[in-house]
Amino acid sequence: MNKIFKYELRRLLWNKFFIGLLLINGLYAWFVLTGDIIAGVAYTAPFSPWSFGAYLAKTMPITVLTVLFLLTFYYAKKEKRVEVLTGATPVNPVRYSLVRSGAIATAFLILVALLLGLSLYFYASILDYWHVTPFILPALLVLPPCLIFALGAGHLAGRLHVGLLYVLMLAVLLVGFGGIGGAFDPFGGGYFSVYPLSLPAGADGDPAFTLSAGFLIARAVYLGVGGGLFLMGIGAARKKATTA
């Protein structure tokens, strides 16, 4: 399986599309940092957990789009033709599916590492801010639900029809840049930018990073639904292998 993982990883990462998308992610993240986050969201510091959460949330649509795009590699017509051969091998289809998802998750982590690296560089070089711990909680609230939901929904859409992955991408663009706001904002950008305005200012003038129950529930729902969809996808893979 290690070998397959390495192969899948190489296939995903070592191609011009991923490198191009990595560049686009980086470029966009830098624009967000220097254009939006530098001012701070909701009158908070640019390095407040609110601003950092907003930064991650604003960059997530492009990152999720990249993940969905990488998923199209697995559900393209050519790939489906090859499936006949891979299905004939003694590889456990569930494990194979997990390995492939692991490769996608690794790609996501590489993208996230780039986003985090850029933000830390931005904070250190421009604002002389060197702390990391305030960013852990917003990162945990934004990143895992986005990844799991994208993987779950993407796998399911891809299994139904590869075209649905593009519909999903369009939906990500609309939701991501249309601005849903509120606790159920899938990426959380609207929430991080608006919710602190309703909170009392703390000792340093910024509101404390206290989140509403609604938002926490929403993140858990996205994580749970994403996980559920993902398991459904795995189940479908097992069923397909059994039927075959």
Partner 1 sequence: MKAFALYRVELRRLALSKFTWIAAGLSVCGPLFGYDMYVPSSTWVMTGKYIANPVLAGAVLWAVLSMLESDRIYRAKTDVLTDAVLSPDTLAASRMFAVMTLCAAVSLLTALVYLPYTMNKVGYLFELGLYAYSFLIVLLPTWWISILLAAALYQITRRIELAGLLYAVCVYFSFSQFFGNHYFTHWINPIILSYSDGFSNASPLRITLYTRFIWLAIAGGAFALSLLCMRRYQKNLLGSIARGVRKIYIPITAAALVSAGVFLWTGQPFVDHGPIEYDYEYRYRRDVGSSNTRVSSASYRLEPNVMAGRLKGRVTFDFTKYGEGEDWIAMNPGYTIAKMTVDGDDIPYKTLIGSEVNGERKTVFTLPPVSARRNLVVEYEGFPSSAKCFPLSVTTEISLEYISLINDGVGPFSTSFVPCASSTWELILPSGLTPVVDHVLLENPEDNHNGTKTWRTTIYRYGLPWILAADFDAITFEAAGTAVELIYAHKYDRNMREYGVSKAIADVMNYCTEHQGKLGFAKGKRLVMLQRSAMFGGGNAGDGWVEWSEDIFTQSNLSDPLKGASAMEVFAHEIIHEWWGGLGVVCGEYDDPFYAAWSDEGLTVYTTYRLMKEKYGELYAAQNYIDVWQAAVDKQNRGFYYRHPEYLAKLPEQYQAQLNSEARETNQYCRMPLMILKAERLVGGEAKFDEILQAIHRQYASTGQMFTYQDFLDACDLREEDVILEQDFQI
Angle, helices 49-75/93-127, rounded to nearest 10 degrees: 150
Kindly state the smallest distance separating residue 42's Cβ from partner 1, in Å. Answer: 9
* 40 phi-psi bin (left φ>0, alpha ψ -120 to 50, beta other): left
HSE toward the beta carbon, residue 103, CA cutoff 13 A? 24
| Out of 128, 133, 203, 243, the residue judged to bind partner 1 by CB under 8 A | 128
Instruction: Tell me: does residue 43 bind partner 1 (CB under 8 A).
Output: yes
Strand partners, 207: 201
Size of residue set near partner 1 by CB under 8 A: 24
Distance of CA 134 to the CA centre of its chain: 20
Q: Which is nearer to partner 1, 41 or 112 (CB)?
A: 41
| Out of 94, 109, 126, 220, the residue judged to bind partner 1 by CB under 8 A | 126
Q: Which is nearer to partner 1, 73 or 96 (CB)?
A: 73
| Out of 130, 205, 213, 242, the residue judged to bind partner 1 by CB under 8 A | 205
Q: Which of 241, 171, 177, 184 is nearest to 214 (CA)?
A: 184
| Neighbouring C-beta atoms of residue 1, cutoff 10 Å | 12
Count of positions (residues) in the chain: 244
| Out of 1, 38, 94, 109, the residue judged to bind partner 1 by CB under 8 A | 38
DSSP state letter for 186: S
Helix (H) or strand (E) holding 140: helix 136-160
Instruction: Tell me: does residue 24 bind partner 1 (CB under 8 A).
Output: yes
Q: Interaction with partner 1 in 46-105: which residues (CB under 8 A)?
A: 46, 65, 69, 72
| Among 33-41, 77-85, 96-104, 144-152, the segment contacting partner 1 (CB under 8 A) | 33-41
Q: What value, to the nearest 5°, has the Cα angle with vertex 77 and ends 74 and 229? A: 40
Instruction: Tell me: does residue 189 bind partner 1 (CB under 8 A).
Output: no
Q: What value, to the nearest 5°, has the Cα angle with vertex 192 and ends 170 and 143? A: 60
Instruction: Tell me: does residue 174 bind partner 1 (CB under 8 A).
Output: no
| Among 41-49, 94-102, 109-117, 130-138, the segment contacting partner 1 (CB under 8 A) | 41-49
Q: Which is nearer to partner 1, 70 or 237 (CB)?
A: 70
| Out of 1, 82, 124, 127, the residue judged to bind partner 1 by CB under 8 A | 127
Helix (H) or strand (E) holding 143: helix 136-160
Contact residues for partner 1, defined by CB under 8 A: 17, 24, 31, 35, 38-40, 43-46, 65, 69, 72, 126-128, 166, 169, 173, 177, 201, 205-206
